Amino acid sequence: MSSAHLDLPGKQQAIPSPARGQSVVVSVIRHTVMPGKDQQYEAWLREMLGVAGNAQGRRGVNVIRPRAGSRIYTLVLHFDALQHLQQWLASDVWQRLISEVQHLLQEDDEVEIKTGLEFWFTPPGSEQKRAKPYKQFLVTLSVIFPLTMLVPWLLTPLFRAAPILGTRGIAHFFVAAVVVALMTYVIMPRYTRLMAAWLYR
């Protein structure tokens, strides 16, 4: 599997309006390439990845190439906000790229858009197994447990400097917000990729 970052719908796709403050948006696009067109598609893919690097809010693209017996390429596009994802999909550059690849595809694109939370344990290819619930529990617990000890300790100086922030309810809110932010934006996207071989085995 190679890594970069970008996104990809072929036909016009209805995209929900961006929720206020929403971030870490993942677009999963699947392309079924026609037999004998692999090299042309790979050339298009290289161009697309280079152009996509300039997209506002782009956080990366994962390219999952077909397994033996399959012709499906899966592109996992990461953006920091739904608004930026919408802008990219509506851009003239993206529309040109899509028009250039259409003749290489056997079927219409399959497009899914997910937020960071729901994408943690959703494998990016339809051919992959989903992580078993007990594995999801163990992976999540192994992150939550140290964070619930470390984050309150790190925030203690802030609570001492501003006593109002250290009151019971407010302090718990800050701790919970920091833990969830770290889980969603920093730790889980990387940790689940690291544990993928065990999670989806």
Contact 33, 105 (CB under 8 A): yes
Q: Give one DSSP letter per residue of 4-49, joined into a string.
A: E-----SS----PPPPTT---EEEEEEEEBPTT-HHHHHHHHHHHH
How confident is residue 64, by pLDDT bands cut at 50, 70 and 90?
Answer: confident
Q: What is the pLDDT of residue 193?
A: 73
Q: What is the pLDDT of residues 15-44, one digit of tens each?
A: 333 343 344 677 788 899 999 999 999 999
Q: What is the pLDDT of residues 76-119, one digit of tens each?
A: 888 887 888 888 888 888 889 888 999 999 887 777 777 655 56
pLDDT at 166 over 50: yes
Q: Give one DSSP letter per residue of 99-163, joined into a string.
A: HHHGGGBSS--EEEEEEHHHHTTS-SSTTSPPPPHHHHHHHHHHHHHHHHHHHHHHHHHHHHHSG
Structural domain range at position 15? 2-119
Are 12 and 74 contained in the same domain?
A: yes
Are 105 and 67 contained in the same domain?
A: yes
Q: What is the pLDDT of residue 6?
A: 35
Q: What is the pLDDT of residue 42?
A: 93
Task: From 119, 154, 169, give the residue that closes a domain.
Answer: 119
Number of domains making up the chain: 2
Task: From 89, 119, 149, give the residue that closes a domain.
Answer: 119
199 or 158, higher pLDDT: 158
Q: What CATH number should be reported for the domain holding residue 88? A: 3.30.70.100
Q: Give the SS3 label for residue 1.
A: coil
Residue 125 lies in a domain: no
Look-up: residue for tokens 């152009």?
51
What is the C-alpha R_g of the chain?
A: 20
0.85 cut: is pTM over it? no
Residue 174 lies in a domain: yes
Residue 127 lies in a domain: no
Residue 124 lies in a domain: no
Are 108 and 137 contained in the same domain?
A: no
Are 114 and 21 contained in the same domain?
A: yes
Q: What is the pLDDT of residue 13?
A: 34
Task: From 119, 154, 187, give the residue that closes a domain.
Answer: 119
CA angle 35–36–41, rounded 5-degree value: 95
Mean pLDDT, all residues of the chain: 77
Are 81 and 111 contained in the same domain?
A: yes
